[in-house]
Structure 1
Amino acid sequence: MFSSRKPDPFFIALLTIAENVQEAVHYANDFKVVTVADLKEVSIKLKNYETEGDTLIHDLITKLNKSFMTPIEREDIMNLAIKMDDVLDGIEHFAAHLEMFSLTEIDEYVQKFMENIVKSTDEIVKAMKLLARKKLEAMHDHAVLIKDYERVCDEVFRTSVKQLFINEKDPIRIIQFKDIYEQLEDVADYCQDVANTIESIIMRNA
Structure 2
Amino acid sequence: MLSSRKTDPFFTSLLTIAESVQEAVHYANDFKVHSVADLKEVSIKLKSYETEVDTLIHELITKLNKSFMTPIEREDILQLAIKMDDILDGIEEFAAHLEMFSLTEIDVYVQTFMDNIVKSTDEIVKAMKLLSRRKLVEMRDHAVIIKEYERICDDVLRTSIKQLFISEKDPIRIIQYKDIYEQLEDIADYCQDVANTIETIIMRNA
User: Above 0.5 in TM-score?
Assistant: yes
**2: distance between equivalents of 1:132 and 1:12?**
6
In structure 2, the residue matched to 1:125 is 125
**1: distance between equivalents of 2:2 and 2:142?**
21
SS of residue matched to 2:69: coil
TM superposition score normalised by structure 1: 0.99
Q: CA deviation digits over 1:93-150, x for unaligned, max 9? A: 0000000000000000000000000000000000000000000000000000000000
TM-superposed CA distance for 1:190, in Å, is 0.3
In structure 2, the residue matched to 1:43 is 43
Aligned residues: 206
SS of residue matched to 1:188: helix
**1: distance between equivalents of 2:15 and 2:176?**
35
Q: How does 1:54-93 map to 2 (within 5 A)?
A: 54-93=54-93
Q: How does 1:10-49 map to 2 (within 5 A)?
A: 10-49=10-49
- Tell me the amino acid that sits aligned with residue 15 of structure 2: L
TM-superposed CA distance for 1:4, in Å, is 2.0
**2: distance between equivalents of 1:106 and 1:129?**
33
Gaps of 5+ in 2: none
**1: distance between equivalents of 2:3 and 2:172?**
58
- Seq. identity, %: 84
In structure 2, the residue matched to 1:173 is 173
**2: distance between equivalents of 1:53 and 1:124?**
15
TM-superposed CA distance for 1:3, in Å, is 2.9
Q: CA deviation digits over 1:44-77, x for unaligned, max 9? A: 0000000011001000001001111000011010
- Larger CA deviation: 1-10 vs 151-160: 1-10
Q: Which 4+ stretches in 1 moved above 3 angstroms? A: none
Q: How does 1:127-146 map to 2 (within 5 A)?
A: 127-146=127-146
- Whether the 8 Å contact between 2:2 and 2:205 is mirrored in structure 1 is no
Q: How does 1:167-206 map to 2 (within 5 A)?
A: 167-206=167-206
SS of residue matched to 1:202: helix
- Whether the 8 Å contact between 2:87 and 2:190 is mirrored in structure 1 is yes
TM-superposed CA distance for 1:20, in Å, is 0.5
In structure 1, the residue matched to 2:163 is 163
TM-superposed CA distance for 1:2, in Å, is 2.4
TM-superposed CA distance for 1:188, in Å, is 0.2
TM-superposed CA distance for 1:192, in Å, is 0.3
Q: CA deviation digits over 1:24-49, x for unaligned, max 9? A: 00000000000000000000000000
RMSD across aligned C-alpha pairs, in angstroms? 0.5
**1: distance between equivalents of 2:35 and 2:92?**
18
- Tell me the amino acid that sits aligned with residue 68 of structure 2: F
